[in-house]
Structure 1
Amino acid sequence: MTEGVNFTDIQRRMDGAIAAFKSDLASLRTGRASANLLDPIVVNAYGGAMPINQVATVSVPEARMISVSVWDKSLVSAVDRAIRESNLGFNPITEGTTLRIPLPELNEQRRKELVKKAHEYAENARVAVRHVRRDGMDNLKKAEKDHLISEDDHRKQSERVQKMTDDTISNIDSLLSSKEAEIMQV
């Protein structure tokens, strides 16, 4: 008589929130160039919005330079515009179908902005985890109401869901603090 919630599904969804958070953090700039910095950029191409990696090859030839090789010559200006309007502070230099993006040195103000953005990403991840927790708790209440589980099972499973939530949020916090230290390192 112990149904309740599917803990593997809850763990999978919480792990998904952490994976999305890690992806968001990878797109934040630290001291070095990374191809992931351009991941959040979406280009208006072929009548729709497409991620930049679906219209061009992004590479890092030097520590402070990103190179974007656009596959279709007609999309070079759209990719250039998308990069400039992305609020990442990049000014690409166009050379034929290749865009070179020099990365300026991060100043203190820009570092603080990046830390603020990292905190936003962390809060979004925490909210996603709390939504998963809420869904799990709702399923437990429904199972108890439908007499599928006892009150004791409800309490035990609630504590387990809460522990999973606490562990995931502490994982998010540790990832955030390490990224924050990486960004603020001069």
Structure 2
Amino acid sequence: MAEIAETLAVQRVMGIPEDEGYREICKYWPDSDIYKVLESNWCAAFVYHCCMQAGIILPIRYPNHSYRLAGVGAWLDWAQLPETNFLYQDGYQGFKPKRGDIVIFEKLLSDNSHDHIGIVLACEGNRLLVAEGNKDNKNFSSVVYRNREHCIYGYIRIDNSYQFHFEGDIYQLFLN
């Protein structure tokens, strides 16, 4: 996943409908006004796209939850589900972020909780190299260094054995 995120992020995808890379990121969301919905707020959709491209299949919205994985809060909720339990804190029980982890930022770009998300490319001392969509809310993708000790809520490490399971019509998950 990190390779996919890095390759995409360095292309400086612009968060506008005219950008082919951005249209690819948005293709999972069935809303007719998705470009307006994600306008200057597409970091989580970038992460979702990278997961899907890496073969980590996820629904748009996790069953029985109200938020879609195009938002950081939904990623946080999903990572804390009993069947996933993928949320980690830096240093807790020896956890150290590594390439391919998803980082959730806390009040990095605004006064809102969990306001940004990206994919860790490297952990170098107190710095993280991160691939991001919508870097600093400036509407383009980028690779950027972030302070590992500043504004980080936690990390999502998706277990290699994870597979999404759903009883029922999976197509409905992508329509709701």
Query: Shorter chain as normaliser: what TM range?
Result: under 0.3
TM-score, L = length of structure 1: 0.23
TM-score, L = length of structure 2: 0.24
Whichever of the two has the greater Rg, that structure is 1
Which structure dedicates a bigger proportion of its chain to helix? 1
